[in-house]
Structures are given as C-alpha cells and as structure tokens.
Structure 1
Amino acid sequence: MKTKVLGLCAASLLICAAPVATFAQPVAPTPPPHVRESIYVPVRDGTKLAVNIYRPAENGRAATGKRPVIFVFTPYRARYRETDGKVVEAALNDQLALASLIRAGYVVAVADIRGKGASFGHRRGFQDRTEARDGYDLVEWLARRPFSDGKVGMIGCSYLGGTTFHTASTAPPSLKAVFIGASDLDKYDFVRAGGITAQFNTRPDEPPSVDLASLPVDGDEEGTQLRAAVAEHAANTPMAPLWYGMPNRDSVSPLTGNAFWQEAGVYAYMDAIKRAGIATYFWGNLKDEPTGQTLFGATNLGSKFLAGPGSHCVPPQGFDFTGEVVRYFDHYLKGVDNGIDREPRATYWLEGSNGYVRSDQLPGVESRPLPWFLTGGKAGRQLGAAPGVAGTAAFTVDYKLPPAEYFGFWPQPMDKHGLSFTSRPVTAPMTLVGFPVAHLTVTSTSPDADLFVYLDQIDAKGKAEVISFGRLKLSHRKLAEAPYKNFGLPWHSGLTKDLLPLAPGEKAAVSMTLTPVSRIVPAGARLRFTIAGADPRQRNLKDIQITPPPRIGVLHGGRDPSRIELPLAR
C-alpha cells in the first residue's frame, strides 16, 4: 500500500503533508485562441440539440489536424447573455478545465440537453435513458467530424457529472474516458436518502426567460429557432414534483408512468461501462453531500478518486485541478505516457493537516470503527467510550427552523432543535477517515417520523461546525444488501414491501450511514452528536410536518446502547 502526503507528518496515518496556498474559485481566464461554431444536431428521434464547438486556433484560423474531443452536456446553457449584457460561455471558463483543454489542443464541445438552453424538445424526467441516448448520439456524431480523431472524452460536475455518467452507461464506442464530479451512483439513495428528500434537486423549475437568454445558434440571429425551441420546454417534467411523487424506491411516478428511480440509477448499467473499457475518474469535495456517492462510483468502477476541502463543484484548493484533468485526458485520449495511471489511486484532503493524502486505497477502506456511546445521568448527555447506565432521552420534533440557504449544500449545527450528546475534550489528536455510522434504538409517538443526525466538531473556543450528517425515515429502517459495493455500510432498500411503521411503544433499531469525513480532530476539541426530526433543507417541510409533532425517544446504555461508530484511521 502507498499512502503519503508531502511535508508535515501526521503519525496516526504515517503520512506527510505540505503547506498549501488558498486559491479562490477560478474566474473566466483570458479566452484561449479558438474558433467557435454553433449548430443544431438532430439525435435519433429527430430532436434538434444545440451544440457549440470550440476548436483551437492559430492566427485566427482553426488549427489543422485531427484532434480528440472533450464533450460537455449541460442543462445550464452552453452560451447565454446575462442581464448586464455580458456573454457567458461554459467552454471558455476553467472551472471544469475546459479553457485549459482548448489550450492543450483539444476540441471542446458543449451541448444543451433537450428541453433546456437553446435545444429543442422536452425532458421526460431527470437524467433518464432518453437523455443518456442523446449523449450517445452526440458522442458518436462528434467522433465522425472531420476535425476529430475519433476519440471522445467527457467531463462534468453535479448535473453535468450525471450526464457524463449516464452517457458512459450507454457505452458509445468512441467514448474513451470520463471525469465525473459530484454525481450519484444511486439516484434514490442520494436524492431521497433514507426515504427523505432534502436540498438537492427539489428547487423550483426555472422560468422560460432563463432559456431565452441563451445565444441562438449560428444562422439564427433573429432568435426564431431559439424561441421555437424554448416553447417546447413547457412540456418538461417538473423536477421537484417528480421526486416528491415517488416516496419509495419502487414507486411508479404519475409523471413518467414507470418506476423512475430504477431508470435513473446508474448502478444498474455499470457493467456496460466496464465492458466498454471506458476510463473513469471521480471527484468531489468533503463539504458536499454527493461525495459519498462519488466514492461508491469509484469503488465499483475501480476508478481514480479526488476529494478537496471545499463545497459543491469548487475546484479543490491547493491542488492543480486543471493540470490533473489535462494529464488524465492526455493519457487516455492522446496516449501520452505521463505516469498518471501509475500514481496512487486516491488523493484526498485531510482537514487539520493542511495537505492531501495520496493512497492506493480509497478513503476509509483501512479505517476501523470506534464506538462512542450516547450516555445520560447526572453529568448530562455525553458521548463516551462506555455504554453507561440504561436510560432514555426524548425530544419533541421542532418544525420552527431557521430558513435554509437557497443552495444549502451543507447544514448548520442543529443542537438547538434536537437532542445532543457531547464528548469531553479529546486528549490527543484523532484522525477520522471514512463514513461514520449511527446505531440508535428509538421510540416515536407517531407511526413514522424523520430522523436527521449530525456530527459536530467543537473547537476549544466553543465554535461548532457540522462535519458529517445523515437522514432516515423510521419506516425505511429495514436493512438490505446493496446491489453494488458500498464499503459494507448499512443500506436500506426503500421498497414498499419493506416499510415498517412503528407500533405504539415499539423500540426500533435504526442504523444510518453519515457523509464521509477526512480530518484530524485536534486535542482539546469535542465531538457532538445531535438527533433532530426536521431539517431546514427540507423544501417541502410545511407540507409534510406531522401534527402534533412526534415525540422521539432515544434509548442509551444497557445491553443494546445507542452509539455512533467513528471511522478511526489505522
């Protein structure tokens, strides 16, 4: 096994870390020399999709020779005009290293998905097989262009990571490598984790004016085709109602007429990616909810993995992200022997060390579970190494929560709205890498209730931050075997036949996986575990809250104590 970082040593991991600079989120660089064309390309059912092609240029002319193509498939408009008149072009920014890829000699193509931007058609769902097949058709169309050498790569983050992942699942013959950020392997287990929707994918749909701000394709200067395309978007499936309307993994959507979670789960199509030999690289950030899903993708596909310290789709600070992307595609599309395939498989930020771990193992694989028990008594509610005396602590679900940020990618501490158990200050640094797991025994005055759990780190001055969290509807607590590799973590089927409403007075055993962590908890810090029954990121909280609010009891101590297992690095 190779596990290292450069510079400062952390004995608990036998690693070394280098001091890092702080980098701001990249702004649009000076555009690389390029020649652009925008055209409509019909896919197999005749729907015309807007495709924007950027070819490297020399002296104002497109560079000669056949070149590999990098393809991006977006719902967020490839080219549009802001209200102040500024033109924004995704390919000329470096958040996904696209400008650097053009400079490195790649052709970059950015297309609007059907039903968005300047493309015609409407979305039947969210990353469905229609969209995946559209991606297939565009990959193969790009591979046949006179400027193409027949090799195509894809890159994206968030929705764009999903379009990349889903296109790969159709195994286009010309698709050789993908770089996927912040995207899910299991749509249900992400969007509706534990049976509960939260922030992601439940925001209101955008008005037509957003897509009408797209720039028309070449030859449509008056915007006639653009207006006709956007008119078709009115038939799009609304996103939040789609997810709200399917409470269980096997629910049939009234909007699409099928069990849509299964259609949108990439894990069902992984074998096609493997058989096609498509190279895969997954990345995310440690303060971003999809990172656990990117880890699942990496472990199932044998991929390289990168995790930075930041939030959603922010290029990892202190790491040459654009350089990594270019080197990756240079190797798999151009055949450059730059050593990236021989370097450690995983690179991930270790909070508290100011550095990145580089390891042949994905984060958490070699950690061991360290149980910290929920205890009560005269000393108050604590987290401790021993179970303590049997008892019960209870709270009434608080629905009067502060408003959430519109994009609340990470929660704030919830100790004022739930039940908390706090440790004593740790006496020595403790390195946690992997997925915390909560095992609770609970009661509820309602047959069903939502459970949210949060693991906070509190520094010596009393400042708290959430470092990991999870959620589960009590009726979804039945465990099952996951249909993919998930590090052996608790997994809930979410199937209708497996739902378990609580009987009056029933004690329910609940196991919950929290989001992954990678940090050194310093000496003097405390850990706090909070249990709540609602979260500000539930956009539909007013519609689903229970009256009267449930009173939830948490049993601690005794023969089957409630506990949280911390992933202690070996």
Structure 2
Amino acid sequence: MRIRTDFPYETTHEDIRIPLPDGTRLYARIWRPVTDEPVPVLLEYLPYRLSDWTAPRDAQRHPWYAGHGYASVRVDVRGHGNSEGMPGDEYDATELDDGVAVVNWLAQQPWSTGKVGMFGISWGGFNSLQIAALAPEALKAIVTVCSADDRYDNDVHYMGGSVLAVDMHAWAATMLAFVSRPPDPAFVGDGWRQMWTDRLEAVDPFIHTWLAHQTRDAYWRHGSVCEDYSAIKAAVLAVGGWHDPYRDTVLRLVEHLPGPVRGLIGPWSHQYPDRGLPPGPAIGFLQETLRWWDQHLKGEDTGVMHEPRLRAWISEPHRPATVHPELAGRWVGEPALPSPGITATPLGLDSELGTDTPGGAHGEASLVPVRSPQHTGVDAGRFFPFGNDADLPPDQREEDGRSVCFDSAPLGRSVEILGRPKLRLRLRSEVPRGQVIARLCEVDADGASTLITRGVLNLNARLGRDRVVTWDPGTTEDVEFELNGIGHRFAPGSRIRLALSSAYWPWIWPAPDADGWSVDVTESTFELPVRDAEHEDDFAIAFEEPEQSEPLGVVSPETLDAPRPERLVVRDVAAGTWRLEVDPRYGGTRIYPDGLEFTEDALETYEIQEADPLSARTRSDWTIRLHRPELGWDARVQSRSEITCDDTHFVASNEVVCRDGEEVVFHRSWEKRIPRTAG
C-alpha cells in the first residue's frame, strides 16, 4: 500500500449541514481542492456515522479524490450520526428523496461545476444505484461496490425465496444497535440528548418489516433497480468480489443496463478492493475510479470506455482454507454478456456426474433420496466475508457427508468457468414444503473439498419469488435455479462435485416440515458456464498498485481480555444440538485523534437440534460505548435480539437499553409473532 501525500491539489475540509426541502439538515463533511475554479462533486451517502464509524475508511479516499480535483462529500442519512430527523427503514422513499435533494444542492454550489458522481460500498452502493434510477439531472456517473439490483433475492434478507437466517437476523440486530447510537455532543452541542431520545422513540426493529414480506412484493420491488434498468441514465461502474454475496448484480448490470456500464469482479470479500484485506490481490482502485470520474465528470478520454464490458478474475485451484491472504489467478475480459466465449455445458447427474448413494426410493431405481440433518451448513462460512481469519468455508468433507454428492471422473484437462451455473432437477417430495441447496466443490486427489459456489431454492418459490405454491405431496415436478456466479479454473486430476442437501443452517431457515425430497438422476442436469480458455482476447488488463491518502490515526489499544474465537461450533452429542457462535469483529475498541473512545462488542449465536427444524434459534447481543472524557460524555447502548419459531409463526424478540452515564434514558422490549407465509 502506497500512502499518497503529494497530490496535484492542496486540500481543505470542513463540516457543514446540508438543508433539505422540509428544513431537516444532514450532517456532511466536505474535502475540496484549493482552487478558484469550480470542480465536479463526489458524494458518499450512508447511515454509518461519518464522525466515528466510517471515519478511518473515509480518510483513505475522500482526501485522495480532493487532491485530484474533486469536491468529495460524505453525508450521514437522516436520523443517523449527527444528522437531524428520524431514522427510517433501509432505502425508504424518504432516504432516496433526501439523496436526490443532496445531489441537487451540491450541483448548485458556487464551487461545483454542476456535475455530480455518487459512490459507495454496500449501503452506499445500494443507494447510489437507487438514486441513479431516480435520474436527477446533475448525477452523471456512479461507482457502486458490493451492492444489489434486487433487494429481495440478492440482499441479506432472502435467498432463493428462503429466509436468510444468518443475515436476515444478524443485520437487523446490528442495525437496531446502530440506530440506537446517540449523536455526538462534540458536533451537535448540548441538544444531543434530546435528539437521541427523540430518535429512540421512533425506532422499530427492521426484522418486523422484513419478516412481514416473505415474497417478492411491492415492498421489495421498491429500490430494486432490476425492475427497470432503463431508468438509470448515469454511467455505472459496478464492482464486486467473488467472495461477496452481491457479485451477481455486477453480471446483471453489465448485461442489462442500456447506458454506459462497465463491470469489475475480483477475488475480494465485502470490502473496497484497495484495502488489502483477504482474499487479495488488492488493486489501485482509487486510481481506477479516478479514470471513471475523469471520463464522465470532466469529459476526458481516459480509455475506460475502451476496456472490456466485464473484467473478471479467474481463480486458480486452491486448497480449502478459512482465509486466503491472496489467491492465484488472472484477469480476463469479456466484451459482452452473454459472451460468445462462454458455453452452457450440461452434465448429467447419472452420467458425467455420478453418486454412490443408493436409489430405489418409492421403488424407482433412478430416485435418490436427499434427507440432510438440520445442522448441515455449520461449515458454510460467513455470509458476508470481511477479510477476517474465519470468514471463508473450511474443507467441505463433513458438509459433503451430510449431503448427496455427484462427482465427475478425474478431469483430463483444465475446465474454466465464468458465470452462474444452473441446476435442473426432477424432484419428488412427500411433504408440501422444503428447500434445495446446491454446492459446487472442487475435490483434490486426497479428498479435500473446496467450496466454489452455491445456490438455494425454496420449493414454494419454484414458480416465482412473488408467490407461494406449496408442493402437492407425493408428486414429481421439474425445477431449476442458478447458483451464484463465479470465475474459477478446475485443475486436471481433480473432480467436479455437485453436493445436494435439504438443509443449510444457519444460512437458510428450515421449513417447518422439512423432510427432504428425492431427485431423479436420469432426468436432472447441472449446467456449467464453461469459458474457452484457449481463445484469449486482446485485452491487456492491469491495475496500478493500491494507494490511499494518509490514515486517520485511530489507535486500537490492547486489552487484558483474551480474544474469543471468531467462529466456534459446539456440539452437544447426547442432545443432538449444534450451536454456532460468531464474533463479527466489526471494530472492537478504538481511540480517535479527537479523543473519542469508541467500543463495540457483538456475539451472534445460531442453534439447532439436528433432527428438529422447529428448534432453530438465533440470538444477537450488542454493546456499544461512546466516551469523551474531556466532555464528561459517556453514552452506552445494549441490545438483544432473538428469533425462534413454531410451525406457523416466527417469534421476534428485541430489547434495547440506552444509558447516559449510569442513567437509563431509554428501555424498550418488543415481541412480535409473524406468520410463516413463505419462510
């Protein structure tokens, strides 16, 4: 990593409040080049508190952009951080309308050329896309990183029509803790406590809303830009990582956006690609985005529109491990999607892929039963890898043993895939509900099994995510679904493995009567997007080394407490119970240059009995402390969130306690029973 201090422009920064049409003021920090000439503006718009939580990350990039001739602006969403107003649901109409107003305000400033770009990762990438779909005239280009075009089926809530237990719950619990944090008196003054208590009275746990919409209805269509790609007029650079759950959005945007678009998918996790967090290699991402901004906001021909429409990383074969500092591989370019160089290649489950699992279900020799124990999935790894040591899936041999596996013969040559594998299955089920989970693995000669990608189908959503169609017990139907996209090369001598299971906890919340199903292997195929590696294109894809502006200087002090494991699996052999404990490790304790002491601690717990789908239980506990000794300010937030179930309802329980010093200023508990309509 190169730390850049010699920029074309000297820079300055200031904190301001941007007025909205209804009189609410949003807290903003602006870095600007020292120049008498107006400059284009870049906007990052988030609820994550610019004065503390994202401040270290903001310091890496906003001053860098300012040093290259842009006004770079970081704004807190209404009701968060030091912004006024009440918090709302994620990406609600108010948030997006406010974003449009901010874009227009920035375009009208005397130091602005009137041309605005938006960028962000995750939440900021989402609302960059969504605000682009509202098409404010001043918004000319965006860079959206690790975001989704489909809020229902490519976000943290549902996957393949099934409830994502692992992040539906964990993210709702995280946001309950986050939204309960107070404004900072160092920035808003003595009114901080009234602002805080007003906000807290408006809080309602997100999980109530998310679980109330178990199909892809109007709630999820709002903000899903896949509803109308043509609404986006701005130029779009879509960026993702093969270890980020949102990477399929990059493939769809590249294929469907009618305007200027380029896609970039590397080996990365849910991080900006310049940060150097596993898996690498990192790239000079700020330089790459500068080419995008210069092209579309300054009118310079930087060559970005001569790049292939998609630049993607093809990973080399690698051993299973929960962390890879770097993955071997290479960059390839595709001029269009679908690509003429990628062929959908079907593999028969009874021919090219085979299994030793006995068939004979219902007296039919071609039917293979799939009846997975409910704890199948404990080795799935983190849904959102952040570059931590325990994020990625370990060796899949134990998971494979809980599944039905179909293996190819040892490969006689390399096989390279790029895109989304597709599974077509003929299934028979004796119960009205269930799930299909498919994992694609590469198996080495010694049996080590590396997870390459996976996919899920809720059988009740087989005819569309917008409806619930239960299975007629005892009947046979054909279903199909895609696995998540991937770029990977299988090595000669290894085997391609398709592993099928009927459970995947804690990623997927089990159906109440989950009893598995049977697959007709003679009428089922697995389709791989095989790329012709012999036909290399003329694109020479290379990136500069990563560079950033000077770090903020945040200190993470050592403590006497021994760190707990990031991911711990506990098995009660006699009870048949499995418990997964996860420390998400968002930040721990840190001390900021302005004296703020910020401490946060979280623990997620997922528990299930291996033979009982109704035993599924999730819990998340958060503790946050914000302390300014020089002001005598000591604010604390504690939250607890749980979800349990019976055969007809989810039960969501939440509690928040907030303190100013030792005084409790807010304490509320919620408990809500939510019908299981599709989940």
Shift of 1:269: 4.5
| Pair 1:502 & 2:460 matched | no
Q: Does 1:313 align with 2:271?
A: yes
Alignment partner, residue 247 of structure 1: 214
Q: 1:39 and 1:314, CA in 2 relative to 1: closer, same or farther beyond 3 A?
A: closer
Q: Given the alignment of the two structures, is residue 417 of structure 1 paired with residue 402 of structure 2, yes or no?
A: yes
Instruction: Specify the alignment match of 2:519 in structure 1.
Output: 554
1:263 to 219, 222, 228: 222
Separation in 1, partners of 2:174, 2:303? 44
The residue aligned with 2:412 is 427
Q: Could you tell me whether the CA contact under 8 Å between 1:117 and 1:211 is conserved in 2? A: no
User: Which residue of 1 is the match for residue 12 of structure 2?
Assistant: 35
SS at match of 2:432: coil
**Residues 337-416 of structure 1: pairs in structure 2 closer than 5 A:** 337-352=301-316, 354-362=329-337, 366-375=341-350, 380-381=355-356, 391-401=366-376, 402=378, 408-409=384-385, 413=396, 414-416=399-401
Which residue of structure 1 aligns with residue 239 of structure 2? 283
Report the secondary structure of 2:136's partner residue: coil
Q: Tell me the equivalent position of 1:224.
A: 191
Equivalent residue for 2:25, pick from 37, 45, 48? 48
Question: Structure 1 421/52 Cα, relative in aligned 2: closer, same or farther at 3 Å?
Answer: same
Higher RCO, Cα 8 Å, sep 6+: 1
Return the alpha-carbon distance in structure 1 between the equivalents of residues 184 and 32 of structure 2. Answer: 19
| CA distance in 1: counterparts of 2:134 and 2:186, whole angstroms | 27
In 1: Cα distance, 2:179 partner to 2:68 partner: 32
Change in CA separation of 1:143 and 1:201 when aligned onto 2, cut-off 3 Å: farther
Which amino acid counterpart does residue 196 of structure 1 have in structure 2? S
1:235 to 2:202 alignment: yes
Match of 2:91, SS? coil
- TM-score w.r.t. length of structure 2: 0.67
Is 2:429–2:474's contact at 8 Å kept on the other side of the alignment? yes
Aligned partners of 1:118 and 1:226 also within 8 Å: no
Structure 1 or 2: more strand by fraction: 2
The residue identity in structure 1 corresponding to 2:262 is K
Q: Which residue pairs with 1:74 in the alignment?
A: 46
CA distance in 2: counterparts of 1:369 and 1:103, whole angstroms: 46
Aligned length: 490
Provide the secondary structure at the position in 2 that maps to 1:164. Answer: helix
CA spacing shift, 1:566–1:230, aligned 2, 3 Å: farther
CA distance in 1, matches of 2:440, 2:178: 41
Do the aligned partners of 2:308 and 2:335 also contact (CA within 8 Å) in 1? yes
Q: d(CA) in 1 for partners of 2:382 and 2:447?
A: 27
The DSSP-based 3-state class of the residue aligned with 1:512 is: strand
For the 8 Å contact 1:125–1:236, the answer to whether it is kept is no
Q: Deviation at 1:516?
A: 1.1
- CA-to-aligned-CA distance 1:190-210 (integer Å, 9 cap, x gap): 132321132445421345577
Q: CA deviation at 1:212?
A: 3.9
Displacement after TM superposition at 1:446 (Å):
1.8
Work out whether residues 408 and 537 of structure 1, in 8 Å CA contact, stay in contact via their aligned partners in 2. no
- 1-structure distance, mates of 2:128, 2:186: 23
Superposed displacement of residue 71, structure 1: 0.2
Aligned AA for 1:566? L
Compute the displacement of 1:233 (Å): 5.1
Once residues 212 and 273 of structure 1 are traced to their aligned partners in structure 2, the CA distance between those partners, rounded to angstroms, is 34
2:465 maps to a residue whose letter is G
Q: 1:189 to 1:49 in 2, by over 3 A?
A: same
* Residue number among 193, 197, 200 corresponding to 2:163 in the alignment: 197
Instruction: Report the TM-score when normalising by structure 1.
Output: 0.79
Match of 2:569 in 1: none
Equivalent in 525, 533, 549 of residue 563 of structure 1? 525
Q: Root-mean-square deviation (CA), in Å?
A: 2.9
1:360 is matched by which residue type in structure 2? P
Distance 1:309 1:227 in 2: 45
Q: Does the CA contact (< 8 Å) of 1:119 and 1:230 recur in 2?
A: no
1:519 equivalent in structure 2? 488
Question: Which deviates more, 327-336 or 343-352?
Answer: 343-352
Q: 2:97 aligns with which of 106, 123, 133?
A: 133
User: 1:335/1:237 Cα in 2 relative to 1: closer, same or farther (>3 Å)?
Assistant: farther
Paired residues of 1:447 and 1:502 also in contact (CA < 8 A): yes
Contact 1:90 1:110 in 2 (8 A): no
2:413 maps to amino acid: A
Q: What is the Cα deviation at residue 295 of structure 1? A: 1.5
Aligned partner of 1:565: which letter? E
